[in-house]
A and B are shown apart, each in its own frame.
Chain A
Amino acid sequence: MGLPESIEEFKRVLETALLAAPAPLGVGELRRLFDADPGPDLVRRLLGELADDWRGRGVELVQPAGGWRFQTRLEYQVYLDRLKQERPPKYSRAVLETLAIIAYRQPVTRGDIEDIRGVVVSTNVLKTLESRGWVDVVGYRDTPGRPGLYATTRKFLEELGLRSLAELPPLTEIERIMDLVDLPKTEEQAVQG
């Protein structure tokens, strides 16, 4: 296999690899498809063109964390759902709030989560998030009991279509209100930390 004949052929190779891959493919991996390295810029340009080519179809080429992959468009999920045996899980507010705290404040201990929510965090809530593969323990805080520090995983980003934590919905309005609160220095740090 030499260099593909044309740009179109290049794109077809990328497309085929992305469709056949079980996980997102990064630009680095895609460059390895070819005998002669086309370079990152060309690959990126062609991925952009490929994404354009798929516009108007039920499937789109997206770039979540970890690389590029094809996924179905949101508006067609209602149809796909009809073929499913069971509904995807709907998470309780307890689970979602715990997830939000971990996502925005990571790494946090269970105690941190309880402080913010004002209620005991049940083991089931954390189990739910861990078994989904969205959070895991990344270390232990050096305090009595050495509580585990929770953080979100790459799978969490992938499954929510995010490239990085920076793409989380911003915590806007409330923060402005927070700024207005005349808090003592130590507490302010606690809020931001």
Chain B
Amino acid sequence: MNAVLEPALPDSVIGRMYGQPIFDLPKDLYIPPDALEVILEAFEGPLDLLLYLIRKANINVLDIPMAPLTAQYLEYVEVMRHHNLELAADYLLMAATLLEIKSRMLLPRPARADEADEIDPRAELVRRLLEYEQVKMAAARLDELPRVERDFEWVGVFVAEKVVERQPAVSLHDLQLAWLKIARQSRLKRHHTIQREELSVREHMTLILRKLRDDAFVVFESLFDPELGVPGLVVSFLATLELVKERLVVVTQNEAFAPIYVKRADGAAGID
């Protein structure tokens, strides 16, 4: 960054510490203490730092020289204690671990009958380092996997139904049916213009009497012709009543709700 801002500096400058340019990343196990703070930010923890120190020095993880590694590490922690205390706890624990391993390695080991059972005090640290390195690499590869919204998008056709509250479907046919129903109802409720009908009660009285000509009982309903329509039926009814009133027909019913019969009255016999 700073190299970009100040082009006068040589390309090899990788950063600045307290105003002084830094030209190289630290080599070997030695890191200038004042450069540590910069590097520190890049580490994810003590294991990460240890791995860095080991890989940088091309040390075989399986054969870690504990003395120089511990010394280098402690130097680092010392800087941390001055600059970044809240991070120090994890690092201090590792420092203690390193010192413990170092001291155990310094202790003379009693010769054992079974050499194979002997455990290198570094084994646990090595295991943790390798496991962490594995995770570190796995994390990097996981990050490289194509990820939705970063590397690709899911494709979907916008379907409006999903955002609108689901409503019942209405077809054209439904609309037609609804309209017909309304039309039928309005016909029933239609205002009627009253006109004098060219229907004569008298004429119907005659028609009825003709139907009763056989001098027999006729079922009341049969006197009414549905084809005449409501006005015609009414007139027929009035005509019947008129006939009854004029004692031209006899209407009989044996009991309630029983069929009603109509018959010519005797007095009408002479009409024909």
Contacts and interface: CB of A to CB of B under 8 A. Distances in A.
B155 A20 contact: no
**What is the size category of the interface that chain B forms with chain A?**
35 or more
Contacts of A177: 61-62, 130
Interface string A158-169: 111110000011
A181 B145 contact: no
Contacts of A70: 154-156
Given A91-B143, A97-B139, A181-B62, A117 B47 contact: yes
**What is the size category of the interface that chain A forms with chain B?**
35 or more
B119 to A, nearest CB: 6
B156 A103 contact: no
Nearest to B48: A118
A1 interface: no
B159 interface: yes
Given A70-B156, A74-B151, A88-B149, A118 B46 contact: yes
B209 to A, nearest CB: 67
A180 B145 CA distance: 29
A20 to B, nearest CB: 5
Contacts of A19: 155-157
A7 interface: no
A72 B153 contact: yes
B interface secondary structure, majority: helix
A159 B148 contact: yes
A94 interface: yes
A159 B136 contact: no
B11 interface: no
B15 to A, nearest CB: 19
Interface string A169-193: 1010011011011111001000100
A69 B134 contact: no
B143 A96 contact: yes
B136 A118 contact: no
Interface in B85-99: 89-90, 94
B44 A104 contact: no
Interface in B134-173: 134-143, 145-157, 159, 162
Nearest to B154: A71
A94 B151 contact: no
Interface in B161-188: 162
Contact of B138 (A74, A159, A171, A183): A171
Contact of B136 (A77, A97, A119, A183): A97
Interface of B: 44-48, 61-62, 89-90, 94, 119-120, 123-124, 126-128, 130-143, 145-157, 159, 162
9 contacts: A20-B159, A59-B155, A72-B154, A74-B152, A96-B143, A118-B90, A119-B47, A174-B130, A181-B127
Given A100-B138, A103-B142, 15 more contacts: A70-B156, A71-B154, A100-B136, A103-B138, A116-B131, A116-B135, A118-B47, A118-B48, A162-B145, A169-B138, A178-B127, A178-B131, A182-B120, A187-B124, A187-B127
